[in-house]
C-alpha cells in the first residue's frame, strides 16, 4: 500500500511499529479507487457503530459491502491500515462540506471502534485516542489539511450521521494539534435565521440560505455534537453562536 510512506518499520509478523509505540497492522480492503478530485484536505473521523472491531474490519473489507476507510483504530490502540492514503476510500457516503459533495475524494477516513448509539455508545479509551493522535499527526504532515477541516461524519452528513458523537474528546485532539476546539470564547448575539445559516455555511455545513427551523436545528445539533458536546439542544443560544463565530475566526484564506 502506498501509505507505507509513514516511515515505520515492518517486522516479520506483519506488524509495524512507529517510534512512539503505535501498533499498526495491514488489513487490506479491496474497496477503493482513484481519487476523482483533490487536494486531500479533510480528515474525517467516524465510529464503526458495530458490535465489535472484528465485525467492522470484516465489513470494511467485504467487496460486496463497498465500504471502507483508510484506517481503523481498535479500542486497545491497534491501528489497522485498510486503504492507501493516495486512494479514494468509501466512508463518507452522501455528504457535503464547503461546496464539495465528493468528500471521499477529498478526505482521509479513520474509523474508531465503538458500538455507537445503536449498540451501546461508550467513551473512547485512552489507548485508542493516543493512537489516533499519533496517526493523525502523521496524516497532517503528509497532506494539506487545515485545522478547520478536521471533521466528524456528523459534520458532513448532519441529517444522517451522529458519529463520532458527543463522547469523542475533540478537545484533547485539538490540544495535541489536530483540529479546533473552541475554548474560552465569548458568547455572541443570536442572529436571525438566514444570517445564522450564512455563518454555518461559511464554516462548511450544508444548509439552505433560508432554512426551515427544523433544518437549522439539525445542523446546529451537528455543530454542537462536535464543538459543544455537553449540551445538544439544536437551539441557537449565545454560547453556540459564540463557538461558531470563534471557529470562523480561525479560518484563514487558502
Instruction: Return the active site residues.
Output: 111
Best CA proximity match to 36, nearest among 95, 100, 81: 100
The residue (of 191 and 229) whose beta carbon lies closer to Zn ion is 229
Nearest distance, CB of residue 203 and Zn ion, angstroms: 20
The nearer residue to Zn ion, 27 or 47, going by C-beta atoms, is 47
SS3 218: helix
Whether the upstream peptide bond of residue 39 has omega within 30° of 0, thus cis, is: yes
Helices vs. strands in the chain: H and E counts, helices first: 9, 10
- Using the minimum distance from each CB to Zn ion, give the nearer residue, 46 or 143: 46
Query: Which strand (E) or helix (H) includes residue 81?
Result: strand 79-81
Determine the length of the chain.
Answer: 254
Q: Which is nearer to Zn ion, 149 or 153 (CB)?
A: 153
In three-state secondary structure terms, 88 is strand
Q: Minimum distance from CB of 82 to Zn ion (Å)?
A: 14
200/195 Cα distance (integer angstroms): 9
Q: Which three cell numbers stand for residue 16?
A: 509495524
Q: How far apart are CA 68 and CA 55, in angstroms?
A: 13
Distance spanning both ends of the chain, measured CA to CA: 30
| Alpha-carbon dihedral angle through residues 183, 75, 32, 20, given to the nearest 10 degrees | 70
Shortest Å, Cβ 163 to Zn ion: 4
Q: How far is the CB of 23 from Zn ion (least distance, A)?
A: 23
For the CB of residue 212, give the shortest distance to Zn ion in the complex, in Å.
25
User: Shortest CA distance to 21 belongs to which of 3, 8, 2, 6?
Assistant: 8
Report the interface residues with Zn ion, using CB under 5 A. Answer: 46, 153, 163
Q: Kindly tell me which of 88 and 153 has the beta carbon lying closer to Zn ion.
A: 153
Omega of the bond prior to 115 within 30 degrees of 0, cis? no
Amino acid at each position: 500500500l502506498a501509505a507505507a510512506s509513514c516511515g515505520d518499520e515492518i517486522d516479520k509478523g506483519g506488524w509495524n511499529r512507529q517510534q512512539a509505540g503505535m501498533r499498526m497492522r495491514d488489513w487490506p480492503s479491496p474497496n477503493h479507487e482513484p481519487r476523482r478530485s483533490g487536494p486531500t484536505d479533510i480528515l474525517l473521523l467516524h465510529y464503526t457503530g458495530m458490535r465489535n472491531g472484528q465485525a467492522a474490519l470484516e465489513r470494511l473489507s467485504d467487496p460486496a459491502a463497498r465500504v471502507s476507510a483508510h484506517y481503523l483504530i481498535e479500542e486497545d490502540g491497534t491501528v489497522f491500515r485498510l486503504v492507501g492514503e493516495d486512494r479514494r476510500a468509501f466512508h463518507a457516503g452522501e455528504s457535503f462540506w464547503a461546496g464539495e459533495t465528493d468528500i471521499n475524494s477529498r478526505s482521509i477516513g479513520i474509523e474508531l471502534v465503538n458500538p455507537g448509539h445503536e449498540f451501546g455508545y461508550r467513551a473512547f479509551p485512552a489507548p485508542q485516542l493516543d493512537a489516533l493522535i499519533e496517526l493523525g499527526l502523521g496524516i497532517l504532515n503528509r497532506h494539506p489539511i487545515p485545522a478547520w477541516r478536521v471533521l466528524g461524519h456528523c459534520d458532513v452528513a448532519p441529517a444522517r450521521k451522529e458519529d463520532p458523537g458527543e463522547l469523542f474528546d475533540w478537545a484533547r485532539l485539538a490540544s495535541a494539534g489536530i483540529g479546533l476546539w473552541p475554548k474560552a470564547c465569548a458568547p455572541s448575539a443570536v442572529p436571525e435565521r438566514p444570517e445564522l445559516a450564512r455563518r454555518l455555511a461559511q464554516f462548511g455545513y450544508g444548509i439552505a440560505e433560508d432554512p426551515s427551523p427544523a433544518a437549522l436545528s439539525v445542523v446546529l445539533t451537528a455543530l454542537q455534537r462536535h464543538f459543544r458536546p455537553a449540551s445538544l439542544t439544536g437551539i441557537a443560544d449565545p454560547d453556540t453562536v459564540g463557538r461558531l463565530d470563534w471557529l470562523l475566526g480561525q479560518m484563514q484564506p487558502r
